[in-house]
Structures are given as structure tokens and as C-alpha cells.
Chains A and B, each alone.
Chain A
Amino acid sequence: MSVLVNKDSKVIVQGFTGSEGTFHAEQMIEYGTQVVGGVTPGKGGQTHLDRPVFNTVADAVKETGANVSVIFVPPAFAADAIMEAAESGIKVIVAITEGIPTKDMIAVKEYLSDKDVVMIGPNCPGVITPGQAKVGIMPGFIHNPGKIGIVSRSGTLTYEAVDQITKAGLGQSTCIGIGGDPIIGTTTKQAVEMLMKDPDTEGIIMIGEIGGQMEAEAAYWVKENSAKYGNKPVVGFIAGQTAPPGRRMGHAGAIIGGADDTAAAKMKIMEECGIHVAVSPADIGETMVKALGK
């Protein structure tokens, strides 16, 4: 099963012919992802990486039956690209672009709210279902098909967790990089919920950071609903235990705004909700192994 993407996903790349789009499309194809084409306005009719280029997402969907789009469009045009994908019937939008203005994302969120579409990101590494489809910029080789689902706001820290899980001999069902911006399409809670409902996922790792209330919201949801899904173990880690308040730590969303969005507050809430908290980033894999009781 897995969630969001699998071997049957038909993926198009928006910003296909740009340098980022080209490089990562090649990597995705090499991984075995079904990349069926791409969109670059004005370059429709050309062929790129042996795949057709379309002027619009609508054309791409019509000709290829694409249902997933990954977006590498520069920040100034990214919001427009996301809305075009949603309008054209794409079901899963993965927005990799970093640096989209908040005002644009408010409009995007509003526009998507009554559409049958899931957006992941922006400012994220993407989504991967190991052995089936890689839709994003993560290094494919560190992943192994398995039963652990991973949700994270970060890029390289996610790779770290993935690597620890692979080395522990567990493997991953689906890894979802939800992104580090203040406004994102899918929240921690929504991603955890997807994985909880996925029969192929037996344990969930959620990696958060300072700023916002998303991890707390997800933790409370786990507490309320976990029993319905067989009490799958959930492991949590929060980055930024040593971050000073009021300073932005790289990610636009990573800023401590009050007493309740510090790492300590989030870890406490997670613990109270029955989540296995890894205090050190070096112990994420080990904590999951223990939680599974293997």
C-alpha cells in the first residue's frame, strides 16, 4: 500500500527543463519513478529526457494521465504553478521550491481548500515510497522498502532518520517531508494520520522543530486515535532544544514565538501523549527499535 505515491503514480515535473528540474527528474527516473513528462510554458512540443514537454499542466494531464506533480518552479512563479496543478486535476502536488512569499501561500491554501488535492511542501525534500517512487530531491539509495513511516519538517535531518532506520534493518513505508515554511499544504497531524491508516506502516517517526503548534496537534491526535489503528508506536524528535527564542534558525518557520513552541514544551506534550521521545538525534532509530519491542 504505502501513502501518497507508489509504483503506479504518474508523475510530471513542473519547471522540467530548468537546471534543478532536469537534474532531479533524471534522478527520479533513475530510481524507477514513472515520470511521464513535464511542463515548461513556451516549450510545449519539445522532448526532454526522452519525455514530452507541455505548455500547460492541463495538456500534460490530458495526454499522459498524470496524477502527481513535483514543482521546481522558481519562488516568484511557484504559487501560480501549484494552483495550475490543482486546477488541472492533479491529485498530489509536491512543491520543492524554497522561498515562496507567505502572502502567495495564503492565497494558495485558500484556493486548494475546496479541491480534491493534497499538497506537500513547499520548501521540502518531497515524498518517497522506497522501491516504488521517489518524488523529490532526497538521495534514493539510503532508503529501503519496509514498515516505518516518517514525517518530517526538515531535509537532511530526515535523511539522518531514514539512514538510522535502514541501518537498524527496518526500512520505510513512505517518507513525507512536509516542509519548513510557516504555511504548508500538509501538516504533521495530517501526515501522521495518513500513515496511521496505512496497513503497510507499523511504526511512525515524526521529526519536528521549534516554532508553531503542529507537533502538539499531531501528538494529541495520536493520543486520541492511536487505539483505533492498533496502537502503532510513534517516535518523536524535536530539533532546536538549544535554539534561542526570537531568532530564526534557517527555516522561515523555525522561530520560537512563545513559551509553548519551544522544543522542551513540544517534547513534554509528546511524552504525555504516549509518544516515544528521542532526546538525541543519534537515537531516533534505536528508539524505534525499542518501541517496536524487537
Chain B
Amino acid sequence: MNIHEYQAKQTLKKYGVAIQEGIVADTPDKAVDAAKELKEQTGTGWWVVKAQIHAGGRGKGGGVKLAKSLDEVKELSNKILGMQLVTPQTGPEGKKVHKVLIAQDVYYPGESETSEFYISVLLDRATSRNMIMYSTEGGMDIEEVAEKTPNLIFKEEVDPKIGLQGFQARKIAFNLGLSGKAFKEMVKFVMALYKAYDETDSAMFEINPVLKTSDDKIIAVDAKVNLDDNALYRHKDLALMRDINEEDPTEVEAGESNLNYVKLDGNVGCMVNGAGLAMATMDMIKLSGGEPANFLDVGGAANAQTVEAGFRIIMKDPNVKAILINVFGGIVRCDRVAKGVVEAYKNIGNINIPIIVRLQGTNAEEAKKVIDESGLKVVSAILLKDAAEKVKEALA
């Protein structure tokens, strides 16, 4: 689960990670109040107005602006709140901004130059251990750094037996070229950051940039936190941070019916039991000349209710020209699924697009009979090859 920057920063702060302070607001007036309060708390003279959406590259889309007066705070918040923010990660339709974070200005002039770093904590799947990935090239797109200057990206593996050790944090601070007060601050920062990652059961932390201020403080200016969904049951407080506004409404609805749905841009809808088979079915649709309109895993219980919920969700998408149902019945019997399909079809009524039902496994022959004798305009298949052919015919 992803959370907003302001939520991520609050969480980091609890674990002693120094952050760029800020106050969240959902109206321009509240943004001005937040700016006044922040000035009292931190003494900041300028403010940064930051759009809160679950996507990176907000600055590039005009979602992060510097305000030099309270009037500008109001003006910029007014502009950003409610805008459809398009960034390289949102897709062309963008995401609506419901909240802004009014943050302190941390790039103030001082005794030394400011510098920006990149630090993330994540699972290294190759070793099954957590690692800290860091770079002197902060504030940039890390994928780009990895491609152009891979020698500037460092990795530090954490031994699960002992956790992150002080010598490792010192190594990171040295590799980032720090000394004196900034060095000590960085060691503290890294230790606190890892503790936060570990204790929140996170799947990924990405702090980009980590800033060395002109007075040698080390602070998180941005924070991207991805929590492990499987561990949310033991973090009720973090689970509450979910923002449904950030999710596709159809995907949310699917989740409520225990369906796993991801919307795509194609013209053939599909409904499948099992994630691997669902992906394979999408691939087959493409090979048959179509484009998958979605990923939809109905899970173990492919019954009349789940099939009906699946139908309704797929048909919300006006681009869908055909639907392929692909169920491999192991524990779940195919004839039951077939009856479920027929029932769901009748309940919905007026389905005007071709439906191809491929049922294989336990009682596949009986299932085909149920479909064929239903009198509905539904094409049945048993072999995956036949199903592929029938998708092709439907699109022709």
C-alpha cells in the first residue's frame, strides 16, 4: 500500500528521522493558516506548496511550487488544489489533487553548499535480505542514474541476524563524501531510517532527495513509502492511512467483492481463476489479435456471485468488445462455474458483446453442456487453443 508524502514524513519523524517540516491542508485558506503556523514553528520565511498524490515526478507536472509570501501560498494552493496533475508516472489523464503539503523552505543560504543524495531501503530479492541503496546523485530519477552512471549507486546489505550496524551507517556517510557535523547527522539519519523501515513492515522506502542543508543538517525532503500489504494486519494505524481517492474506483469496488482487478487499455475483457493463468490469458488475447482490457483474478471461489461481480466490473469499461472467461477447475467444479456464468448472465441481462467461456478441469464436459444448452449467446471451449481461436473469431 502506498501512502502520501505527508503521511510518510509523519511516520519517519516518529522514528527520529529528520524531515522537512510541513502541515497538510485541503483548502487555500487552511494552507495560509498552515503556512503561518509553520513559520512560528520553524522560522521559515518561504514555503513550498506540494501536491499530495500517489505518484512521483510531481515537480515536473507543476505540482511543487515555491511561495515567497502568504499571498503566494494562497494563490498557488488555489491553483494546485483540484488540478488534474499529470506527471511521468500518472498517465496522460493525471491525478486529481485533494491535498497540499505546506512545507518549510530548506534550501536557505548558509555557511556551506547544500547537496542532495538518494537513499532507499528495500528487499533484495536475490539474497532475500533488506538492503540500503544510496547515491550521491540525489534529486534525480534513480532509474536514469542506474542506467547512465551505475558506478554512482552503492548497496549495503543488512544481515537479518543482527540488523543494520553502526559501521554500515558510517560507511554510507563516508561514501556520500560527508565529514564533521553532516557526517554524524547522516549516520543518525540512516540508523533511524532503517529502524522506521523495519518496524513499519515496509516494502520500500525511497527518500529522494536527502538534503544536506547549508548548516549541515541531514533531512528527508521527499519520502515515498510503500507498506507490505501482508503485514498491515499488525499495523492498524498505518492501515488507516489508505487513501481510496488515489485508487481506481473500479479496482476498489473489485476489491470489495474479493476480486483482484487491474484496469488496462485493451478491448477484450477477461476473468480468470489464479494470477498466473490470468496473466497468461491476457498474453493469449494479445496473440489472438486483441488487447487485454484488464487483469481479473476471481481467486479460488469462482461462483455465481463472484462471476456476476466480475461481469459487472468488466462491462463498466466501454472499450470492451468481447469477454473471455478462463477457469481451470481443480477444487472448484466446472459445472458449478458454468451454472454461475449462466445465472450471472441472466441476472445482468442485455449483454451485447460476445462471451467466450473456457472451462477446463473437474467436470469440464458437463460444464460445456450447461453452457451450450443454456440458449445464451455464449461460446464455449475446453482447450485453451480453442478459446484462443474463438477470441480471434469474435474480434474478426
Binding site for B on A (CB under 8 A): 27, 75-76, 99-103, 105-107, 109-110, 137-139, 141-142, 152-160, 163-164, 180, 182-183, 207, 209-210, 212-213, 237, 239-244, 246-254, 258, 263, 279-283
A275 and B278 alpha carbons, distance in the complex (Å): 24
**Is A154 within 8 A of B274, CB to CB?**
yes
**Which of chain A's residues have a CB closer than 8 A to the CB of B160?**
106-107, 109-110
**Is A100 within 8 A of B230, CB to CB?**
yes
Contacts A239-B283, A240-B283 given: A153-B233 contact, CB under 8 Å?
no
A253 and B273 alpha carbons, distance in the complex (Å): 17
**Is A250 within 8 A of B361, CB to CB?**
no
**Which of chain A's residues have a CB closer than 8 A to the CB of B241?**
none
* 26 A-B contacts (beta carbon < 8 Å): A27-B331, A75-B233, A99-B230, A101-B201, A101-B228, A101-B234, A110-B129, A139-B331, A142-B361, A153-B276, A154-B277, A155-B276, A155-B277, A157-B280, A163-B360, A183-B123, A183-B125, A212-B125, A244-B262, A250-B274, A250-B297, A252-B229, A280-B283, A280-B388, A281-B280, A282-B383
Interface residues of B in 278-293 (CB under 8 A from A): 278-287, 291-292
B384 partner, pick from A109, A138, A244, A281, beta carbons under 8 A: A281
Contacts A247-B262, A249-B279 given: A103-B231 contact, CB under 8 Å?
yes
**Is B126 within 8 A of A213, CB to CB?**
yes
**Which of chain B's residues have a CB closer than 8 A to the CB of A103?**
198, 201, 228, 231
**Which of chain B's residues have a CB closer than 8 A to the CB of A137?**
330-331
**Which of chain A's residues have a CB closer than 8 A to the CB of B387?**
282
**Is B274 within 8 A of A157, CB to CB?**
yes
**Is B330 within 8 A of A254, CB to CB?**
no
**Is A102 within 8 A of B275, CB to CB?**
no
**What residue of chain B has the Cβ atom nearest to residue A240's Cβ?**
B279
Q: Apart from A75-B233, A102-B123, A106-B129, what 13 extra A-B contacts exist at CB < 8 Å? A: A101-B228, A101-B230, A103-B231, A106-B130, A139-B361, A155-B274, A156-B274, A160-B360, A163-B328, A242-B266, A249-B278, A251-B275, A281-B277
B286 partner, pick from A155, A157, A241, beta carbons under 8 A: A241
**Is A105 within 8 A of B201, CB to CB?**
no
**Which of chain A's residues have a CB closer than 8 A to the CB of B130?**
106
**Which of chain B's residues have a CB closer than 8 A to the CB of A154?**
274-277, 280
Contacts A156-B330, A157-B277, A282-B388 given: A242-B231 contact, CB under 8 Å?
no
A244 and B287 alpha carbons, distance in the complex (Å): 16
A140 and B161 alpha carbons, distance in the complex (Å): 40
**What residue of chain B has the Cβ atom nearest to residue A98's Cβ?**
B230
Interface mask (B230-250 → A, CB under 8 Å = 1, otherwise 0):
110110000000000000000
**Is B262 within 8 A of A249, CB to CB?**
yes
Binding site for A on B (CB under 8 A): 89, 123, 125-126, 128-130, 143, 160-161, 198, 201, 203, 228-231, 233-234, 260, 262, 264, 266, 272-287, 291-292, 295, 297, 328-331, 360-362, 383-385, 387-388
A109 and B130 alpha carbons, distance in the complex (Å): 12
A105 and B125 alpha carbons, distance in the complex (Å): 11
**Is B361 within 8 A of A159, CB to CB?**
yes
Contacts A103-B198, A240-B283, A281-B283 given: A249-B275 contact, CB under 8 Å?
yes
**What residue of chain A has the Cβ atom nearest to residue B291's Cβ?**
A242
A242 partner, pick from B229, B264, B385, beta carbons under 8 A: B264
**Is A281 within 8 A of B123, CB to CB?**
no
CB-CB nearest 5 A-B residue pairs = A154-B276, A250-B275, A156-B274, A139-B330, A157-B276
How many Å from the CB of B194 to the closest CB on chain A?
13
**What residue of chain B has the Cβ atom nearest to residue A246's Cβ?**
B89
B277 partner, pick from A105, A141, A160, beta carbons under 8 A: A160
How many Å from the CB of B311 to the closest CB on chain A?
19
**Which of chain B's residues have a CB closer than 8 A to the CB of A282?**
284, 383-385, 387-388
